[in-house]
Structure formats: C-alpha cells, structure tokens
Structure 1
Amino acid sequence: MKNKLLTIALFLGIHGISLAQRVIDLSSGKDIAAMPANNTEFVMTDSISGNRTVLNVTKPSLTVYTPKKEISNKTAIVICPGGAFHALDIDNEGYSVAKLLVAKGYTAIVLKYRLVHINMEAANPLAKLGKLASDFKVLENRMAPDVPLAIADGRAAIDYVKKNAAKLGINPAKVGIVGFSAGGTIAAAMAYSDDSQSRPAFSAPIYPYLAPFDQQAVPSNATPLFISVAADDDFKFDGNSAKLYQKWKDSGASAELHIYAKGHHGFGTKKQNLPVDQWIDRFTEWLAFLGYGAKQ
C-alpha cells in the first residue's frame, strides 16, 4: 500500500517564506487572516521532505506574494498546484514556485481551488485514492464532476487579479498563469478561453492533464504557451503535451515545448540533479523574451 500511495502522490504531486504576502477569499475578494472555523481544509505533512499536501478545499483562496518595488516587473502569475483534483501539492508546486518567481520580480499568486472530498476520518484517508491510481479511468470518472469547479476558480482568479491590478501593483495586461498536472488543466483551460477577462497574457501548463480538451479548437489570437514535461512522466502526459504544442503551432499561435529525458511526474521545484531542475529558468527566460521579465 505504501508504494501505491507514493504512486498517487506523484499525481497529487515552506509556507514560511519571508516575503510580503496576503490571503484573499476568492469568493468575496476580501482579505482573510484565517480560514473560517467551519472550513473543511486539511493539511498533511510529509515526515521526510516536510512538504505539505492540502485536501478538502471547499473555499477557494489566493495567497499573494509581492516582490520588492525596486525589482517588480509589474507582471502577475497565478500558480495552480496539482493533485488529481483531490489534493494540492502546495509546497512543491505552489509556495516554493512563488518564492522563486518573486525573487525574479514577479507578483506570485497561489490558488487553492475546490477539490474532490476525501473522508479524513478514515484510518488511512489516502488509501482509497491509492487504489484508484491503479485504474486511471476510474480516477478520471471520480474527479470529473469537480474539474469544472476548479476551472471556474482559475477563471475567477485571473478575473480578480486583473480587476485589482492597481491594488496589487501590477499591469492588468500582464497577468499570466502556470499550473502543474491537474493545475495544468486549469492553465490550459484559461489558454483555451474565449473570454478576454479570464484569458491570461500567457499560460504555462506543466506536465498537464489535458483529456478535457482533446476535441477543443485553439481560439483565435490564442495566448502564448510554455509547456514542460518529462519523457518518463509516470502518467505518460508527455504525449498529450506534445500534441498540445502541435495544435498551437498548427494554428499559428506561439508556443514553446520542453520535454526532458528524465524527471518523472510532479517534478515541480524538486532537486533531482537533472536538467529538469532548471525548467523554471527556461520559463522565466521565455517570459523575458515575450516582454514579461524586465523591471517596469
């Protein structure tokens, strides 16, 4: 069972960052000091790495990390951690990503989106999910009803950031998104959006789950895409990532694809002493190429 849980943890995928930050209730747009008492959110901490996993999110929120004014490039990036729509790999694919981006002058905004409910009173709350991992189609069917909710939260996040650009100290025309695995589904959904208010200036689906978009056409004036994945992805997401790149290229839209020889699924900000460890440098180089990197 331990091996099964490690396998699902790949698909599931320190908040103590000494940076200016605030937490916003996405449904109301108000700053919050703490989640309400009736909040169902649950956090599990890995005893070895110290990385945390968040489960049972029912109240979407944004955690905003602001760079020092002297290095700010006025660009905001919404960050969507992954977790099979059952959990959020909140450190590896959320807060640690924010720390790296803020150091480069970006306003980094971590999205907690709504998730499939997991019974935390069970003896081993992730055991059932571990069993589901052996049959990906069953897992897909279980998470399918909640995918639209997560995408709606991504749309609301982009909308909030654009409308509150002055308060956040950013340019509303420079709001982008990066998402990992299930979070990559949200990033891809925003790139496919035909709504100008929720369409980002750029989108970066990282080892994304893309099944919901198999038949979807690339929109006109499509947002630029940055895609990164490992060739040994445990869920074979490298194939669909390559197809997404080809769809964008065939439509005449801008896209960049990095397929690393090794790295597995869920590499996020892990240090594996592999070339994939530098994917975020390639990402920010791409952003600078598009004009979203220099200090404004």
Structure 2
Amino acid sequence: MGDCKVIPLWRGRKSGLPTWGPTMEVHRADRPRATPGPAVVIFPGGGYQVNAPSESLPVVRWLCDAGFHAVLAFYRVAPCAYPAAVADAMRAVRLTRHHAAELGIDPERIGMVGFSAGGHLAGLVSFAPHLMADPDDDLAATISPRPQRLALVYPVGSFLPPTHEGSVARFCGVDSPDADLRARFSLERLVDRDAPPVLIAHAADDLTVPLTSSLTLARAYRENNVDVSAHVFPRGGHGFVLEPPDAGAAWPDPLRLWFEQL
C-alpha cells in the first residue's frame, strides 16, 4: 500500500457536517496494473450507524496489493438520514473522476465494492445515479457517479421484509418506514439495463442480512439481461469480508478476478 491522500468530500461547500468528515482516502497501489491505473471505491458497512473498520483498511490493503488504487469513502451515518449518505457516496465517485489525472487513475476504469449497508449504498449509486442531486455538489451536472464494475458483499439489497431493519430505519430516518418508502430504496426495484455488471457474494447462514436479499437482486439482473456473478457460500455468517467463509470456498479470489476485468 503506497501513498494516501485524504480529500474532504465537501470542503467549504456544506455546513453542519460531523467533525470527522465525511472524507475519502485515496491509496495508491505500489505496483499499479496500468498507468493510469484502475481504482476501486470502497463503501464499508455498519448498518448506517458506523463505517465499519473491518471493511475499511483491510480491504484497501488487499486491493492495493492486487494492483488497484483504492478509494475509501467515509460517508455520513445516523443520526444523519437520507439523502446524506447517498450524497456523500456520489460525491466520492465524482471527486475520484474529477481528480483522476493527478491521482494516476483512469476515470473510465472505476470499480466499486460495498459491504452490508455499504452494499446498499453502492447499489443506489450504481442503479439510480439520478435518485437525488445535492445542490452543493458542483460536479453533479457533469460527472457520473456510476462505476464500470460493481461488487456487493452480503449487501442489504432490499428494504422489504425480511431485511436488516436497523439499516432501513437509520437510512430512512424513521423507526417504521411504510411500504412505499421501503420500495423506493430497494435495489431490486432499481436495476435496469444500464446497471453495471455485478458480483454478489453472500453466505447462506447469514443471520443478519437474509440471503433472499441477494437472490432477489440477482434475479433482477437476469431479468434485465445484465451480467451478474452470484456466489453463495454454505457458511460464513455476516461480516466475513476477506476471510474464507468456508474451508472449501475460494474467496476473495473471485473478487480479484472480477475487478481484473476493469
């Protein structure tokens, strides 16, 4: 893992932000795959309550070792509700493309990986880039936040039951979102033919985020004739990140091979 550049997402453009950010960290690979090189934007999980450390720097190190520049996005969480996290996520991708030349990044080779609630956020950016336009984002009219390639690892894909209710409540900012609100932010309802190719990974014994969330999303991809690579592991629970979820499963090699196609 090489140099790290910290970039505030809203420097001087937005008031009332948390003291810690939101920010993005750009970590350059010591031996990038190309010049300029591909980059992967990381959205950690944490139930829209935290940005989980286990899905942050360990993923950065792994990506950089594999020859990718890594952009770690720290987005707003509760008590900030929609549209805060979405605005931050879209801004992070746009800033990556905006600063691509100085960062040694190819703006047309941007991947994205999201874990758990971060998978939901990555899906919103990828499937619904016009969901909202933050008035403070001066790049919104000219730079797309949609990645060329997407990976969702045990994602909170659907907000419809059964799902991770804590993520739903904190994202929406209400304890009991109604059916219409849940449907509005359910990823399987947002997939269309313009969605980027996706890899989905989930463990069948996940007791936090039901496997049905990922299966429904994969079905939506197939119905829209967009490339999907779905990996269901028999064991692993929730939060396996880069650790093999089962002794017989090769992981995270499929993730590396997926991004090698950037």
Deviation at 1:148, TM superposition (A): 2.7
Deviation at 1:216, TM superposition (A): 2.2
| 1:98 counterpart (60, 82, 95) | 60
Question: Given the superposition, is the C-alpha separation of residues 244 and 27 from structure 1 closer, same or farther in structure 2, using an over 3 Å criterion?
Answer: same
Deviation at 1:159, TM superposition (A): 0.7
The equivalent of 1:9 in structure 2 is: none
Matched, 1:207 2:170: no
- Which letter maps to 1:150? A
TM-score, normalisation: structure 1: 0.68
Question: Given the superposition, is the C-alpha separation of residues 220 and 165 from structure 1 closer, same or farther in structure 2, using an over 3 Å criterion?
Answer: same
CA-atom RMSD, angstroms? 2.4
TM-score, normalisation: structure 2: 0.76
The equivalent of 1:22 in structure 2 is: 5
Question: Given the superposition, is the C-alpha separation of residues 86 and 70 from structure 1 closer, same or farther in structure 2, using an over 3 Å criterion?
Answer: closer
Q: Deviations over 1:157-211 (max 9, x none)?
A: 1111111111111111111210111100111112212457011111111111121
Gaps of 5+ in 1: 1-17, 31-37, 42-58, 118-144
2:107 is paired with a residue whose SS is coil
Q: Contact conserved, 1:190 with 1:203, CA < 8 A, in 2?
A: no
Distance 1:187 1:215 in 2: 13
- Which letter maps to 2:199? F
The equivalent of 1:265 in structure 2 is: 238
Distance 2:105 2:248 in 1: 32
Distance 1:179 1:245 in 2: 15
Once the two structures are superposed, the pairs formed by residues 146-161 of structure 1 within 5 Å of their partners are 146-161=81-96
Distance 1:188 1:220 in 2: 14
Matched, 1:221 2:194: yes
Question: Given the superposition, is the C-alpha separation of residues 146 and 166 from structure 1 closer, same or farther in structure 2, using an over 3 Å criterion?
Answer: same
Once the two structures are superposed, the pairs formed by residues 169-180 of structure 1 within 5 Å of their partners are 169-180=104-115
Q: Contact conserved, 1:62 with 1:110, CA < 8 A, in 2?
A: yes
Gaps of 5+ in 2: 131-142, 160-184
Q: Contact conserved, 1:111 with 1:157, CA < 8 A, in 2?
A: yes
Q: Contact conserved, 1:232 with 1:262, CA < 8 A, in 2?
A: yes
Q: Deviations over 1:91-122 (max 9, x none)?
A: x21110010110111000111100114xxxxx
2:232 is paired with a residue whose SS is strand
Give the paired residue count: 220
Deviation at 1:272, TM superposition (A): 6.1
Once the two structures are superposed, the pairs formed by residues 106-145 of structure 1 within 5 Å of their partners are 106-117=68-79
The equivalent of 2:120 in structure 1 is: 185
Q: Contact conserved, 1:201 with 1:224, CA < 8 A, in 2?
A: yes
Deviation at 1:231, TM superposition (A): 0.4
Q: Contact conserved, 1:72 with 1:107, CA < 8 A, in 2?
A: no
Matched, 1:285 2:220: no
Distance 1:217 1:39 in 2: 30
Deviation at 1:72, TM superposition (A): 4.2
Q: Deviations over 1:212-254 (max 9, x none)?
A: 2156242332211111110001124311101101100111011
